[in-house]
Structure 1
């Protein structure tokens, strides 16, 4: 399937996260350890918010593999952002084309997904009919991921992110089971409005794809005082990744099955329970 990461915190050059870690996302595009496929070469995308912009994100996507894209290397070495998404794609059947590359954008929102809606061609018409008619013209590609995004926007993403994603997941399961698909949904999803990041791990089978979040910065500093660069990042700086970017002990934590994380996080917990809201 795919590999992705979401970063939020102290403004950072994109290449610091995308290229420099031992098991960076660019490395994962060729050598993923935990994905269904080890190679994720069916395109890539990055989306980022700037500190002096209008609140809407910029997006750069391409059908070329991430590991040898010179434009991505050039751009990531010069763009600094406090919040960005990156995604390397392994298609589950839809065409390799730019409009099918993640992240997807609508207004201030960014969305990316790893997973699939099982037997999507059978469910596609019913799911697309549930998208708000005013939003339907914005669907440019042919992926289940983009339909999931616009369903979530339709179902109240602007008002309640976890609730809208739960209603989207519930609708997919309801439609899927109506078509005789017993376990319709497999997803890890990241979504942002430029202020916060929400990351979800859920599947109808209860065996979701891998997802990890970084420990709080103060905890990582205590564990690894030898890492000078940690003194430069804020306590609120966190990442969510499909698989760890390296093997430093105590840095990466698996997000539990059927849960979601929000960044910045509250003082009491790093994640919350999540379930589909069946209509």
Structure 2
């Protein structure tokens, strides 16, 4: 399983989330505390937004703690909205194209979790990606397919409904293979204006998601694990919920792929 952290608010240095806190994302790459795999060493990535609608993207296959370029970039770059991820592979190879976040047009997406039996229906999943998005299918992960399917279902029109449809389609394929867990998901994604996050599982084990507003940073952090072990105010997102965060504040909504009818 992976760990991730996202931020939206007044511009801050990336290091304020990625490297400086006691339980920063880089610290979680060495010793995560709320997932089965404590070490997340199969690559990392950052996507950040500034003046342009398309995000900047930096990904590599090294462990996050061992890359001096990551620390240098995080020390120098400020952003009002960014997503960062450290990877522990659940099957796909360690390559730059398999590192999160994924980017297409102005959208970015990162995921922690798994789709049971994905390799058994990977060809069908690839073929379900719309033709105009298939050129963005660069890696071999279930997470990238999840993202591209959601884009095809209308992520720009209704992010919650589009992600529900994408999750429902993949979960249905997994159920047909009979391999569980069929779906475990914590995901964060953005169009450059709004930060979204969702938490869901087909069983009772949903990957963790927390969020907190910081008066010091004047912004929201949405994370897999709290960035400080002794810091109050972190709110755990309940399974089956999704949030959208803008400069106007945070809104919570139901996230229920089971209400989606999947075509046979």
- What TM bracket, shorter-length normalisation? over 0.9
User: 3-state SS of the aligned residue for 1:40?
Assistant: coil
Pick one of 209, 212, 215 that aligns with 2:210: 212
Partners of 2:180 and 2:22 in 1: CA distance: 39
| Structure 2 gap ranges (5+) | none
User: Which residues in structure 2 correspond to 1:225-264 (within 5 Å)?
Assistant: 230=216, 233-234=217-218, 237-264=219-246
Distance between the aligned counterparts of 1:139 and 1:179, measured in 2?
Answer: 23
Q: Can you list the C-alpha shifts for 1:9-57, whole angstroms capped at 9, x where unaligned?
A: 010011121111111111000011111111000000000001x22x100
Q: Aligned-pair RMSD on alpha carbons?
A: 1.5
Q: Which runs of 5+ in 1 are unaligned?
A: 222-229
1:199 Cα deviation after fit: 0.2
1:114 corresponds to: 112
Query: Deviations along 1:124-183, whole A, 9 cap, x unmatched?
Result: 122222110221121000111001111101111111100100000111122222333454
Query: Is contact 2:117-2:180 (8 Å) kept?
Result: no
Counterpart for residue 125 of structure 1? 123
Runs of 4+ in 1 over 4 A off after TM superposition: none
Aligned-residue offset at 1:273 = 1.5
Looking at structure 2, the residues matched to 186 and 26 of structure 1 have their Cα atoms a distance apart, in angstroms, of 23
For the 8 Å contact 1:114–1:187, the answer to whether it is kept is yes
- Structure-1 separation of matches of 2:248 and 2:256: 20
Contact 1:174 1:278 survives alignment (8 Å): no
Query: Between Structure 1 and Structure 2, how many residues are aligned?
Result: 260
Q: Which has the larger radius of gyration?
A: 1
Query: What is the distance in 1 between the residues matched to 2:16 and 2:136?
Result: 33
Deviation digits for residues 68-95 of structure 1 (CA, Å, limit 9, x no counterpart): 1011011111110000011000000110
Note if contact 1:177-1:183 (Cα within 8 Å) is conserved in structure 2: no
Tell me how far 1:210 sits from its aligned partner.
1.0
- The normalised TM-score by structure 2 is 0.94
When structure 1 is superposed on structure 2, of 252-261 and 119-128 the one drifting more is 119-128
Are 1:274 and 2:259 counterparts? no
User: Using the alignment, how far apart are the partners of 1:207 and 1:5 within structure 2?
Assistant: 20
1:204 and 1:5 mapped to 2: Cα distance?
23
